[in-house]
Amino acid sequence: MNLNKEIWLTPLIQETLESLYNKTIPQDAISLQKTRKEFAGDSTLVCFGLSKYSGKKPPETAQEIGEALVKADSRISGFNVVNGFLNIELNYSYWVNYLQGYTPDAKLPEKARRRVMIEYSSPNTNKPLHLGHIRNNLLGFSVAEILSECGHFVSKVNLINDRGIHICKSMIAWQKKGNGETPSSSGMKGDHLVGKYYVEFDKMLSAETNELRAKIDSNDWQGIDNESQEGIKKLLAEIEKAEDSQKQKDLNSTLKQQINNQTPLMKEAREMLMLWERGDTDTIELWKTMNSWVYEGFNLTYKRLGVDFDKFYYESDTYILGKDIVQEGLAKGVLYKKDDGSVWIDLSDEGLDQKLLLRSDGTSVYMTQDIGTAVLRNKELNCSTYAYVVGNEQDYHFNVLKKTLQKMGYSFADGIYHISYGMVDLPSGRMKSREGTVVDADDLIDEVIEEAGNRALELGKTEDMSEDDQNQLFRKLGLGALKYYILKVDPKKRMVFNPEESIDLQGNTGPFIQYTYARIQSLLNKAKALSQIEISLDEMPEESSARYMIRMLEAYSETIQTAAEGYSPAMIANYMYELAKDYNSYYHDYPVLKEENLTLAAFRLEIARKTGETLAKCGKLLGMEMPERM
């Protein structure tokens, strides 16, 4: 049963208005919102826009409507008018009944439920996960939970980037320097081991690049083919001529890139990629082995983070898929071919550029692959929404992907949505792998758990717990702190990750909410007998704080639904913090066990119970576990 008051109040207002003014009033003319804390009332009708129907000034209009509403429905006990705002007050009995029927539930009506795919995580298999991936994973998982809570049918999907030149790099470095090292021989987590060789490759590469640069500077062009020679010479000349330093910088980095490409190591990497694409047995064997190490590592990290997937896609399976579709697009005349054979789409009428979809040698690029997987998934999953959790540096890419598919006539493309999130910065600035400031996901998880443990042990409240229970608790607290810290920020916004603040326990933090929950559980345990007492309005006084708490609980379903529409776990984090804070204040002022009026005590206990349930539910939606004690 949905008791949400907007369900009956909005239509009631509409009817009242229509009979009052004898005009048709569209529903969206009725702007109803929660009454702000500082005013009396439960719901507020904004009356400025209604003047045109009443022909009177907003305050007079509000007054009139208020009077009519009180007459129209007994649930409405009163009202007050401030400027053009009509604050509607509901009966206390309405709220007491509401509390008794309340359970945190945000299910939409059947007809509003949809099939939704959430793609998230999508890692490369050449490096372990880092802080940026953590934001991605937490967001993706949480959004999926939120949509499920609203009744949607969600597929969580991970598209793994397991092929390409970057993967070959770690393979080559391992061949050269690995001496057969494996995760078990080294005791290293598989993804970290592979990552180590990726870094190793980079080191070897920059040594070769420097060497080659020195040779070029002394006019020694051995090992560089004529065409590349010319290119490099031209660049050198341009750098000579360039006047502003920005341009010089740009040219220099292009030059470095070109020299990079001429090193023996890069040549080897490219050769390996070709071997891989041809299906060379040894290459494939090595690739499979090293990838399997990485997957073992990733799975462990996912498990510790508490995220999971319904389906995995691998780029090695999907990277060719888009080619046929591009051919179809050519046939339809949506795409065009240049003289060199490359295929493009012109999106300039959409405010975008031309975009390459197929190289002149016929091989596919990132976009080709994404087009292919999109079509494949639509066949397999048949969703109405395809949401991709990917960083905002790819805003342009997803814009192009969606428009391209639309132009090709795929109607499912309308459902493509990019959940674009901002970078995670450190207090010192951006994470840079070159400077070694990248925060590793596994290290971070270890740290927050350890730190949570340290702080809990200092307080000494967990001494009687078994070591196993303690470890479970520290894990819940550490991860709760981390998840809340990251998810409370609006996904779209860039955020600063301060390692020390992320494990804080006071203020707007995960553990603050967990503490509130644990304390409620303790209260429920001690007050079991009260649950038998029937709550009756006749036996207890009206309390505005209680009314306020129930209104906070009532906001649950609307909050979750708005969060789902906006793909924003942050809204839920803000809500549950507000709820916990208000409850703590209520708890402080209105005792249960000491209250002599047992009906009132039972009523307060009921508020505690429902608040606890709601906090736990919100926590679940963020992937946060609530401890029974801490």
Partner RNA sequence: GGCUCCGUAGUUCAACUGGAUAGAAUGGCAGAUUCCGGUUCUGUUGGUUGGGGGUUCGAAUCCCUCCGGAGUCACCA
Alpha-carbon span 215 to 212, nearest angstrom: 5
CB of 100 to RNA, least distance (A): 20
Paired tokens of 45 = 């009708």
Single out the segment in contact with RNA by CB under 7 A; choices: 223-231, 237-245, 293-301, 388-396: 388-396
Residues 364-383 that bind RNA (CB under 7 A): 365-366, 369
Q: Which stretch binds RNA (CB under 7 A): 135-143, 222-230, 280-288, 355-363?
A: 355-363
Of 6-14, 106-114, 282-290, 573-581: span binding RNA (CB under 7 A): 573-581
Q: Which of residues 60-79 bind RNA (CB under 7 A)?
A: none
Contact status: 57 vs RNA (CB under 7 A): no
Q: Would you call 106 exposed, middle or buried from its count of C-beta atoms within 10 A (0-12, 13-18, 19+)?
A: buried
| Binding track, positions 229-248, relative to RNA; x by CB under 7 A | --------------------
**Stretch touching RNA by CB under 7 A, among 213-221, 322-330, 377-385, 584-592:** 584-592
**Within positions 119 to 148, which residues make up the interface with RNA, using CB under 7 A?**
124
| Closest CB 185 distance from RNA, rounded Å | 30
Q: Is 461 in the site for RNA (CB under 7 A)?
A: yes
Q: Which residues are paired to 343 by β-bridges?
A: 337, 358
By the rule CB under 7 A, 492 interacts with RNA: yes
Compose the 82-121 pattern: x for residues touching RNA by CB under 7 A, - for all others: xxxx-x----------------------------------
Q: Is 342 in the site for RNA (CB under 7 A)?
A: yes
Binding piece for RNA, criterion CB under 7 A, among 113-121, 432-440, 454-462, 612-620? 454-462
Say how far apart CA 196 and CA 174 lie, in whole Å.
Answer: 9
CB of 219 to RNA, least distance (A): 27
- 59 in contact with RNA (CB under 7 A): no
Under the binding rule (CB under 7 A), the answer on residue 432 touching RNA is: no
Classify the phi-psi angles of 362: left when phi > 0, otherwise alpha if psi is within -120 to 50, otherwise beta.
Answer: left
36 close to 92: Cβ distance less than 8 angstroms: no
The tally of CA atoms less than 13 A away on the side-chain side of residue 509 is 18
Whole-angstrom CA distances from 234 to 167, 228, 240, 248, 487 are 32, 10, 10, 13, 50
Residue selected from 446, 459, 529, 536 as contacting RNA according to rule CB under 7 A: 459
Q: Closer CB to RNA, residue 62 or residue 408? A: 62
Alpha-carbon separation of residue 339 from 308, 336, 613 (angstroms): 46, 10, 65
Cβ nearer to RNA, comparing 36 with 288: 36
Distance (Å, whole) CA 330 – CA 322: 12
Q: Candidates 186-194, 231-239, 293-301, 514-522 — which segment interacts with RNA by CB under 7 A? A: 514-522
Q: How do the residues of the chain divide into helix, strand and coil, expressed in percent and rounded to 5?
A: 60, 10, 25
Query: What is the dihedral sign for C-alpha 408, 410, 414, 415?
Result: negative
Contact call for residue 484 and RNA (CB under 7 A): no
* Binding flag, residue 397, RNA (CB under 7 A): yes
Which of 156, 87, 198 is CA-nearest to residue 434?
198
Within the chain, what is the greatest distance between any pair of CA atoms? Answer: 99
Stretch binding RNA (CB under 7 A), from 37-45, 104-112, 304-312, 373-381: 37-45
| Residue 585 found at the interface with RNA (CB under 7 A) | yes
- Verify binding: residue 593, RNA, rule CB under 7 A: yes
Nearer to RNA, 84 or 183 (CB): 84
Does 404 help bind RNA (rule: CB under 7 A)? no
| Contacts with 268 (C-beta within 8 Å, 6 or more apart), sequence order | 172
267 lines the binding site for RNA (CB under 7 A)? no
Strand blocks (E) in 250-395: 311-314, 336-337, 343-346, 354-358, 385-391
| Ramachandran bin of 460, using left for φ above 0, alpha for ψ from -120 to 50, beta for the remaining angles | left
Task: Write down the residue that tokens 């717990």 correspond to.
Answer: 465
Stretch that binds RNA, among 6-14, 94-102, 191-199, 502-510 (CB under 7 A): 502-510
Query: Would you tell me how many other CB atoms lie within 10 Å of the CB of residue 36?
Result: 11
Q: Which is nearer to RNA, 59 or 151 (CB)?
A: 59
* Exposure class string for 447-485: b at 16+ Cβ within 10 A, else e: bbbebbbebbeeeeebeeeeeeebeebbbbbbbbbbbbb
Identified binder of RNA from the candidate list 505, 540, 579, 602, rule CB under 7 A: 505
